[in-house]
Structure 1
Amino acid sequence: MSIENLSNRGPAVTIRQVKAARALLGWSQGDLAAHSTVSEPTIARLEADEGLLGGRPDTAAKIVHALTNAGIEFISENGGGLGVRIMRPADGK
């Protein structure tokens, strides 16, 4: 399965969700770059835009993967609006 197919499976992630996720984690663009292996200038360029997280599919997948690995859950449009939250640890603490 190609990375394009993987990136098209889940709900679309917006730039605002990425910025909100970074804020919840207390991460700078540099922190996200380090965790995602995407360059900081690329993250800055992507975040300067509006709408859906753009760029190459593998780049977007690396960013989303880094944030979800850090505990972020992306909330899709469900009548209440898009959002992000930090998932509760598996042990409930």
Structure 2
Amino acid sequence: MPPDHLIRERLDAVLAVVYLIFNEGYGGRDELVAEAIWLGRALAELLPNNPEVRGLLAMMLLPEAARAPTRALLTDLVARRCQLLALALILLSSDDQDSSAE
């Protein structure tokens, strides 16, 4: 690990790059999000008393924690919509068969 005076000089740039990686990944590249969070956790272990490092990690973890339930909710809504559409098609096709039988 570099001396303290070099850590202070370089930390802002490192935190900015980690956040840029996270931000780039948030558009759909989950591997970048995971990598940025991993880097943030590694920095938090190396510098446990640094508020900027802890703040960056919190800024990345909070939206990521909300993203998983949102994804699950959207998946569930799409699945339910597909089920309703399938049911409607079944009902429509059975109505067609009933009317052609008469």
Work out whether the TM-score is over 0.5.
no
What is the TM-score with the length of structure 1 in the denominator? Answer: 0.27
The structure that is helix-richer by fraction is: 2
Larger Rg: 2
The structure that is strand-richer by fraction is: 1
Query: Relative contact order: is structure 1 or structure 2 higher (C-alpha 8 Å, sep ≥ 6)?
Result: 1
